[in-house]
Structure 1
């Protein structure tokens, strides 16, 4: 074990934690609306991080706060709502597979926005990944006609935001402590999240006295503690000790974990969807793999 590079341990931990997040979102939606779920997740995570990480905020240079703020909204605030809305119409396992587009989008954005040169192999991987995504969405619409696969666009939008976030961390926050980044993120988004929570009707008797309130609250608490607070710190550190694409490749194994949870929860999955999943992961692999130096 002592010969294993820490980045691999971080990667495996993230895959397990984030792969389980999708089923937690699905269960929490039984008691909350998407707005309530997204806002409560951010508020609880913010409280957890501020308790343990407030002393690290002093390590954030003043000129870095604009990137901390942007990272907070793109990497945490908006995706929390996007995934919640998406899973009101599509299965948790499908959402996790679509989330595998993060490394592909990281490559594209790194090339177009951050001027990081990509190889022909990586560009081919991006194209293959998009083909797999299209097959997955159209096949899902046939297999589950009662689900609205237009909502898959919410997940795809979130993956673009994640891709921007990972490039921002690598480019502008490389020398900031991971816990400081995560705490700073949630310090910035805490008030907006709290306002959304208040205006979402969360504190009304209809929500609080709902049949599934306590169960849903428990699921969100687990999601906030492990799936967001702890995972954010691990992810930020992983980005710093590796590369943006390697860090985002936690999505390689996440669908496996999420699919297992989905099958256990009675979600359907066709052979063509399995093929589409393989195509997406192949595209991700190609976009990540680099040629060995001659």
Structure 2
């Protein structure tokens, strides 16, 4: 029995896991707004380097306080390096650079595509960890439709005029987010905090020299307090806390279920924009959120044959 099968043989409280998925989507949905606040004065490599370094330090401190020892095997750290690249260093940089050239709404639409990549990878490779059936495919389609309705046709119309490289960058981040949970299944025997700390430490190791070489942050003008606060929130909440939740969900909901949160992430970005920035909210937004939720349920709720492995939350 492989590690994922061992993890899935244990009963899980589905309502709790869906609640964590909602929380993760809310946290990551806010990241688009925070990046938009910081990017005018903090360039992308520097922003990501600071973000992942602070998160890595926090995660290492938490892991140590909980009595966890970090792995010593070189093979595990090599795997952490790949995880840190796929889950943090590369996609964070691509999204941050992309948002300097396109709107956060369009970035949210483009970054809602990881479940599509997960399905494509699973079907092409034949190595999907979850059964891919018609219900999950319909769920992915519902989620994409919900994102389109929630964000609005006007935003989608910008796809034809926004910077093509910026669009490609955000889509590249989505591909990273699709590959990351598939790769991350190999850590299912490790505590989530240990995996998060190891992967984030490797992301920091990658990003610190990149920022130093490419942007020389010590030569930049001091950013305003608002931008600094945004980066701190990105580091502490959207990265450190989010990574612990994320690696837990990989074990309990699987790659497709975890990446389905990208639909909710886009929806929460709209809600946050409405409540915090005074953006308009319409019936189409509500209809889109309903479609998003329906898609997430279709993707994450397990097949009847597996219901005996769960107990109600």
Q: TM-score category by the smaller chain?
A: 0.7 to 0.9
Report the TM-score, using the length of structure 2 for normalisation: 0.76
Equivalent of residue 241 in structure 1, options 237, 249, 252: 252
Matched, 1:231 2:242: yes
Superposition map of 1:73-92 within 5 A: 73-92=85-104
| Residue 183 of structure 2 corresponds to residue 168 of structure 1 | yes
Is 1:257 matched with 2:268? yes
- Answer whether contact 1:143 1:270 (CA < 8 A) is retained: no
Shift of 1:145: 8.2
Whole-angstrom distance in 2 between the partners of 1:61 and 1:293: 38
Q: Secondary structure at the match of 1:56?
A: coil
- Segments of 5+ residues of structure 1 without an aligned counterpart are none
TM-aligned CA distance change 1:137 to 1:113, over 3 Å: farther
- What is the CA RMSD across the aligned residues, in angstroms? 3.5
State whether structure 2 residue 209 is matched by structure 1 residue 198: no
With over 3 angstroms needed to count, the CA separation of the structure-2 counterparts of 1:140 and 1:68, relative to structure 1, is same
Residues 1:179 and 2:193 are matched in the alignment: yes
For the residue of structure 2 that corresponds to 1:251, the secondary structure is helix
Deviation, 1:60, is 6.3
Which secondary structure state, in structure 1, belongs to the residue aligned with residue 68 of structure 2? helix
Preserved contact between residue 35 and residue 99 of structure 2 (Cα < 8 Å): yes
- CA drift of 1:137 comes to 11
When structure 1 is superposed on structure 2, of 249-258 and 220-229 the one drifting more is 249-258
| Offset of residue 103 of structure 1 | 1.9
Residue pair 2:105, 2:155 contacting (<8 A) in 1 also: no
| DSSP-derived class of the 2:113 partner | helix
Normalising by structure 1, report the TM-score. 0.80
CA contact (8 A) 1:38 1:81 kept: yes
Structure 2: which 5+ residue stretches go unaligned? 1-12, 307-313
Is contact 2:106–2:158 with CA below 8 Å preserved after alignment? no
Instruction: Supply the distance in 2 between the matched residues of 1:4 and 1:35 (Cα, whole angstroms).
Output: 38
Q: Could you give the per-residue CA deviations for residues 36-69 of structure 1, whole angstroms, max 9, x where no partner exists?
A: 2222212222222233235634346554333222
Name the residue aligned to 2:32.
22
Q: Please state if 1:221 is matched with 2:232.
A: yes
The equivalences for 1:72-221 within 5 A come to 72-113=84-125, 115-116=127-128, 117-123=131-137, 140=155, 142=157, 147-148=162-163, 150-170=165-185, 172-199=186-213, 200-204=215-219, 206-208=220-222, 212-221=223-232
Q: Which secondary structure does the structure 2 equivalent of 1:169 belong to?
A: helix
Match of 2:45? 35
